Structure 1
Amino acid sequence: MKQFVYFLTIILASTACQGSGQSRITYVPDTAALSKAFEAYRETTIVHRRFKHADIEPLILKREGAGVFEVTQLGISVLKKPIYQLKYGVGAKKVMLWSQMHGNEPTATMALMDIFNFLEGRDDGMDSIRNVLKTQTSLYFIPMLNPDGADVYTRRNAMDIDLNRDARAGETVEGRLLTQAAKTVQPDFGFNLHDMNIYYNVPGTSNPVTIALLAPAYNEKRDINEVRGNAMKIAVSINRILQGYVPNGVAKYDDTYSPRGFGDNFQSWGTSTVLIESGGYRGDPEKQFIRKLNFIVILNSLIEIAQGSYRQYDIAEYETMPFSASQLSDLVLRHVGVARDSMNYKIDLSINRYEQTDDRDYYIRSSIADVGDLQEIYGYDELDAEGYHFMQGEVYPGIFDGIGEISPEQAMEFLRQGYYAVQVANVPENRHHQLPLVVFNQRKPIATGPVLGGAANFFLARDGRPTYAVINGYLIDLSTDKPPEGLKNYVW
């Protein structure tokens, strides 16, 4: 086990806190030590987002009887899968954390597995953290509330109900389990752990919102009482840490009061509740970096609750955080020349690549998300296509026996010749591929123009020759010999 020393530094200031006469606690998180702890205790069996209940259950059950966690089966899902709660600590401050109430939102679940490993560690220089958590808090973790949704990587449960819109009605078995757990524990603090789509950006920037935070409203007026105010202070502490990792990559989630939402209801029940939404980060499709951020900020928040240092933060700082905007696409092409219906004009195009789940993997289906003046739209990738013209592609006239007959270099040559699609006679058992081509078996694709909702398969040409290809929403520079890595295409 790696050895490192964590200094749990708390300074009791003699000055009165806002005139209350209470001592003010000053605490500076040791993020370097927390980062090392993540690397040391990362759960190595979970490395992709599309894990299932069967992958998580052994990681929970192996902790039964080990003396660190108290493992309880709260009940079963619609499809009879066990839903577990793990309890750590014997302290008076009760904290409840629940994850994956939406089955396709697994980032925090991965981080909780890492935190479980950390809490079981010892003699590594960080026992001071474990001791303060164990003696000052009682932590209640529900790591996978929606196992049925997780198994098919979909948002809703097997009743096709959004669990996070069932706090009021209580019609879902999983929602009722969460409500009953809250009534039994009566937590002082709560963490509602989610993922959000990757197309949120920090307003006025091309920066994706890597993590969004929220102290949910407990009424329509969005009043601030002590309960919500404490959640805001914890959100401030989280934001300060995150700015060191993703500068200008954090925003607030929409705070409109939802009487159906669990976060809003927990807040109204007297639980200081923080919503953490894991968004997007360039070059992190499996959200492993964001998983690390979750580990760091969740663990540090628990430390702050245990020692009371969250009180040092100012609610006014929470109010200065911007709300997330929704102005981000996977690819934006600007000033594309178009000749159509006897007209010549220029347009911007935004393109999104949508994941299609295939068991433990996924492939991409892309489309043109918007057309026109898109100055306020940003892209994970952008190209100023001034001087380039939209060009439809052709289907290669021959038929290949199988996809293995086409090399990446040959595929790039086809693109340079204006061919964007090829036909194969035999479909492989695994239809996934990384060729920069539309590969089909029987149904011939139809090239479309630069139209809203159209397939994102075309060329950008200069002087009548393809210079860039857009294949399934991926931008490919045809001056290179090899296609970009990480393409997630499919044989149709």
Structure 2
Amino acid sequence: MNLEALHKKYKEQTITGRYITNNHIEPLLSNLNSYFTIGVLGNSVLGKPIHTIIVGNGKTKILIWSQMHGNESTCTKALFDMLNWLKTDTTATNTIKNNFTFYIIPILNPDGATLYTRENANKVDLNRDATNLSQPESKLLRDAFTAFKPHYCYNMHDQRTIFGVENTNGTQPATVSFLAPAFNAERAINSQRQIAMNLIVAMNDVLQKHIPEQVGRYDDSYNANCVGDYFQTLGIPTVLFEAGHYQNDYQREETRRFIFFALISGINAINENVIVVNKTKSYFDIPQNKQLFYDFVYRNINVDYESKEKIAIFASQYKEVLFENSIIFQAFIKKIDNPEIAIGHTEYDAKNGLYVGEDGNNYPIFDTKANFLIQPDRKFVNGTEIM
């Protein structure tokens, strides 16, 4: 199966970028065909509908939810790319629809999606509400889980640009990361967690052909309040998807493609029953992702520190800000002359030029906008050098 050609053909062109809300997906729901059953699971804190999509009539049931954190939309885009593929009447898609039933919640936290926040309207992280069930969205997800009785759960998220993986070729961004969550504090491996690990290995094998050494393994510390851990505890193989950064892809349009590849390859692996072989070692061979990156690193900066010139290093990081229904990226200075500064997605060598901030200061100030000069003639606006 040519996944590149498949995604190019079925990518949903009407949803792009980072800001995805009910307003963006509702026209797409109305365009799905008779293969799909569209419903409303219930309502959010602010009364927004939480939409559901059921497709397929097969025995193997997969529950998928996205945007549990409202500002994590990459997997939502990839799911609609997959739905476009499933709309078609082909041997491949009909086989999947005959063998699987998918229950998809494209945006579990529509209030957070609208506000572009991680939390819901009550400022609760839904991924820390698995046992308390204090929020309507959490209760509705549990209701769906109980009624649907899935054989697999896919918990779909985004992770920040700070995450990378270390490997034999240096440090790369963690473009896609996975986790087979622990089901107890000892992080033991039972048959259900083993299945989740085997499935992740199958997806990783495919992704390595497209993003070699840019797949990470998420930390498996157990937290009973996390939904994935909780469902794993209930005996359902659960996989956490984390859509991360790809080189220069702040809109996550490349990353959505790789999530699509993971979705399709994982489904095919289950269908072909190739996930029964123990792949524990291969799973733990996937490098664990770590906080390694800043968006910008500036090296060999001449600064005035306590009335003495010195050569320093500093970093800046983007904040994602909702402005007029789109996301803008504002760079702020975050680390200054610190040995923990490792690597930037973009790096600049100041070649011992003198730093001059907007306020005329010759030393960068923490959490101020990354607008400055490097004398004699280099200008940086929003973290980036203006040529």
TM-score in terms of structure 2 length: 0.94
Equivalent residue number for residue 221 of structure 1 = 186
| Aligned partner (choices 443, 452, 457) of residue 366 of structure 2 | 452
SS at the partner of 1:267? helix
The verdict on how the C-alpha distance between 1:312 and 1:129 changes in structure 2, with shifts beyond 3 A counting, is: farther
1:288-367 equivalences in 2 (<5 Å): 288-312=253-277, 314-367=279-332
Measure the CA separation in 1 of the matches of 2:369 and 2:31: 47
Cα pair 1:85 1:140 within 8 Å, conserved: yes
Measure how far apart 1:447 and its partner are.
5.1
Measure how far apart 1:448 and its partner are.
6.6
Letter in 2 for 1:391: V
Cα pair 1:152 1:359 within 8 Å, conserved: no
The verdict on how the C-alpha distance between 1:74 and 1:362 changes in structure 2, with shifts beyond 3 A counting, is: closer
Letter in 1 for 2:29: I
Equivalent residue number for residue 441 of structure 1 = none
The verdict on how the C-alpha distance between 1:132 and 1:384 changes in structure 2, with shifts beyond 3 A counting, is: same
1:268-287 equivalences in 2 (<5 Å): 268-287=233-252
- 2:33 aligned with 1:70: no
- 2:20 aligned with 1:57: no
Measure how far apart 1:383 and its partner are.
2.1
Measure how far apart 1:132 and its partner are.
2.4
Letter in 2 for 1:216: P
Cα pair 1:95 1:187 within 8 Å, conserved: yes
- 2:160 aligned with 1:191: no
Cα pair 1:89 1:135 within 8 Å, conserved: yes
SS at the partner of 2:235? coil
Cα pair 1:448 1:454 within 8 Å, conserved: no
Measure how far apart 1:249 and its partner are.
0.9
- 2:382 aligned with 1:472: yes
Equivalent residue number for residue 237 of structure 1 = 202
Letter in 1 for 2:15: I
Measure how far apart 1:41 and its partner are.
1.3
The count of residues paired between Structure 1 and Structure 2 equals 385
Equivalent residue number for residue 60 of structure 2 = 93
Letter in 1 for 2:324: D
Measure the CA separation in 1 of the matches of 2:339 and 2:346: 14
The higher-RCO structure (CA 8 Å, 6+ apart) is 2
Equivalent residue number for residue 78 of structure 2 = 111
Measure the CA separation in 2 of the matches of 1:281 and 1:157: 27
Measure the CA separation in 1 of the matches of 2:152 and 2:346: 39
Please list every run of 5 or more consecutive structure 2 residues that lacks an aligned counterpart in the other structure.
none
Cα pair 1:92 1:137 within 8 Å, conserved: yes
Equivalent residue number for residue 124 of structure 2 = 161
Q: Deviations over 1:292-328 (max 9, x none)?
A: 1111110221122123122246221001111111021
Measure the CA separation in 2 of the matches of 1:185 and 1:108: 21
TM-score in terms of structure 1 length: 0.75
| Aligned partner (choices 264, 267, 289) of residue 232 of structure 2 | 267
| Aligned partner (choices 133, 149, 152) of residue 170 of structure 1 | 133
Letter in 1 for 2:50: I
Cα pair 1:189 1:271 within 8 Å, conserved: yes
Equivalent residue number for residue 38 of structure 1 = 7
Measure how far apart 1:373 and its partner are.
4.2
SS at the partner of 1:275? strand
Cα pair 2:79 2:260 within 8 Å, conserved: yes
Look at both structures and tell me which one has the larger radius of gyration over its CA atoms: 1
Measure how far apart 1:74 and its partner are.
1.1
- 2:142 aligned with 1:179: yes
Q: Deviations over 1:360-394 (max 9, x none)?
A: 2233332221112437510011123333222345x
Measure how far apart 1:341 and its partner are.
3.1
Q: Deviations over 1:308-352 (max 9, x none)?
A: 122246221001111111021111112212233331211111111
Measure how far apart 1:81 and its partner are.
1.5
Letter in 2 for 1:104: N
Letter in 2 for 1:200: F
Measure how far apart 1:456 and its partner are.
2.0
Equivalent residue number for residue 334 of structure 2 = 369
Aligned-residue sequence identity (percent) comes to 33
Cα pair 2:357 2:364 within 8 Å, conserved: no
Cα pair 1:129 1:303 within 8 Å, conserved: no
Measure the CA separation in 2 of the matches of 1:58 and 1:274: 29
Q: Deviations over 1:434-478 (max 9, x none)?
A: xxxxxxxxxxx67572233343222222xxx22x222222223xx
Q: Deviations over 1:175-215 (max 9, x none)?
A: 10100111111111111000011111113644111111100
